[in-house]
Chain A
Amino acid sequence: MAHKHKRTRVSLVDAELSMTPMIDIVFQLLIYFILTFEVLDDIAHLDVFRPAPDREQREQMETPNVLQVVIYQDGFTVNERRMQLPAIERTLGRLAAIDPNQTVLIMATAHSRHENLVEILDLCAKVGLRNLSVVSMN
């Protein structure tokens, strides 16, 4: 009788869920994730329009009434006038105030750094210009 009673007790204890190992594992996982967690940078995608690499179309693009930003190795020109970034931003801002759909022709020379192109695209995004055409120059 006493033996039987003991047995039922044991089976009842087994039926209960033991939380300790689970919590151990959860903490292990938590520590692992905290240690391996690495915050990713926010990424922006700057959309551009790229004309097909075909001569005729490129010549058509260069109509005189579009704003033309040229990126050289050592600076920028806007409509053939040398400008620094703040002045370019003002010029682009004025253009955007008139018509944000106005095409901006961005011409980059072969040896200019990609960072400078991204800077100009960023300014265009800032003032709200949408039609950006990137052309390569020799």
Chain B
Amino acid sequence: MSKARKKKTTAGTGGINMTPMIDIVFQMIIFFVLTVEMERDALDERIQMAMAPHGPLVEERDPRTVTIDLNERGEFSIARVPLSPSQLRSIMRNTVAIHGQSLPVVIRGDQDTMHQHVKNVMDICTQAGLYRISFAAIKQLN
């Protein structure tokens, strides 16, 4: 009897224990969900970008990329923090001092914003010495 019991219990623990694996998988799911949300939260979703169906699709993003949101009233923000022109200027200067002038800048301009507002942002960037400027546009609505 005692022999048979021992054999049975060893057979039970010999199987793969799924619990730690499931724990880890759930941890990973939660991690990915939270980080994706963070990246999305950093952009101002009220901006209606213009359509550019032939533009090059963003595939590989330089992790240093600075994205500047520009709404239709000409107010700009980075990661949803509204900035004044002098604040943006000092931010760009400091960023250039750290990452160099090859830092890419993406301007997410609203389609109804006037060019003079875009010009203000571009001038601040070029004054800081940045030359890789691009405009974000919607390639395809999903």
A12 interface residue (CB < 8 Å to B): yes
- CB pair A111 B116 closer than 8 Å: yes
Q: A107 CA to B116 CA in the complex, in Å? A: 12
User: In residues 29-75 of chain B, which contact A (Cβ within 8 Å)?
Assistant: 29, 33, 40, 49-58, 70
User: In residues 49-91 of chain A, which contact B (Cβ within 8 Å)?
Assistant: 49-53, 71
A41 interface residue (CB < 8 Å to B): yes
Q: A22 CA to B12 CA in the complex, in Å? A: 20
- A47-B132, A121-B55, A121-B135 in contact; A42/B115 too (CB < 8 A)? no
B86 interface residue (CB < 8 Å to A): no
Q: A26 CA to B139 CA in the complex, in Å? A: 35
Contact with B along A37-50 (1 / 0, CB 8 A): 00111111111111
The smallest C-beta distance from B106 to any residue of chain A, in angstroms, reads 6
* Prevailing SS type, chain B contact patch: mixed
Q: A112 CA to B116 CA in the complex, in Å? A: 8
User: In residues 78-124 of chain B, which contact A (Cβ within 8 Å)?
Assistant: 106, 109-119, 122-123
For residue A118, which residues in chain B have a CB less than 8 angstroms away from its CB? 49-52, 109, 111, 135, 137
Q: Which residues of B contact A (CB under 8 A)?
A: 1, 5, 8-9, 12-13, 17-19, 22, 26, 29, 33, 40, 49-58, 70, 106, 109-119, 122-123, 125-127, 131-142
Could you list some 16 contacts between A and B, CB below 8 A? A4-B1, A17-B19, A29-B29, A41-B140, A44-B56, A45-B134, A45-B135, A46-B136, A52-B126, A109-B115, A115-B111, A118-B52, A118-B137, A121-B135, A122-B55, A134-B122
Q: Which residues of A contact B (CB under 8 A)?
A: 1, 4-5, 8, 11-12, 15-17, 22, 25, 29, 33, 39-53, 71, 108-115, 117-119, 121-123, 125-126, 134, 136
